[in-house]
Amino acid sequence: EAAVTQSPRSKVAVTGGKVTLSCHQTNNHDYMYWYRQDTGHGLRLIHYSYVADSTEKGDIPDGYKASRPSQENFSLILELASLSQTAVYFCASSDEISNERLFFGHGTKLSVL
């Protein structure tokens, strides 16, 4: 079973502060993703990556940066956190061998006050 670990599990941040969400996978997957979950919107793709040292913009990238320093690690960075970024964030990984199935982490609940 694929393992994707997110940290922290939850975080309270202040408006204007910097937040870094981390994701680590041990499955040798090439592809990693950051999704945001809001009630009524389902999951929306923020950033994704096909290979280390390269990231791509998803559907809602504004206000977020991503970093993929290695195949195993993928971070999501909020340089200036805002109230509207309060949400649950999910990291996921996949590769062609897994037939495009996403393996999700347990999520990070972010509250920006």
Partner 1 sequence: GEKVEQHESTLSVREGDSAVINCTYTDTASSYFPWYKQEAGKSLHFVIDIRSNVDRKQSQRLTVLLDKKAKRFSLHITATQPEDSAIYFCAAENYNQGKLIFGQGTKLSIKP
**Residues in contact with partner 1 by the rule CB under 8 A:** 31, 33, 35, 40-45, 48, 50, 58-59, 90, 99-107
Nearer to partner 1, 24 or 105 (CB): 105
User: C-alpha 92: how far from its chain's center?
Assistant: 7
* Residue with Cβ nearer partner 1 (56 or 79): 56
Min. distance of Cβ 77 from partner 1 in angstroms? 20
Q: CB of residue 15 vs partner 1: minimum separation in angstroms?
A: 27
Q: Which is nearer to partner 1, 21 or 105 (CB)?
A: 105
CB-wise, 87 or 105, nearer to partner 1? 105
Up-side HSE of residue 16: CA atoms within 13 Å toward CB?
A: 0
Q: Least Å distance between CB 82 and partner 1?
A: 23
CB of 86 to partner 1, least distance (A): 18
Cα-based distances in Å from 64 to 46, 48, 88, 95, 98: 7, 12, 14, 24, 28
Other CB atoms within 10 A of residue 53 CB: 10
3-state helix, strand, coil in the chain (%, to 5): 5, 55, 40
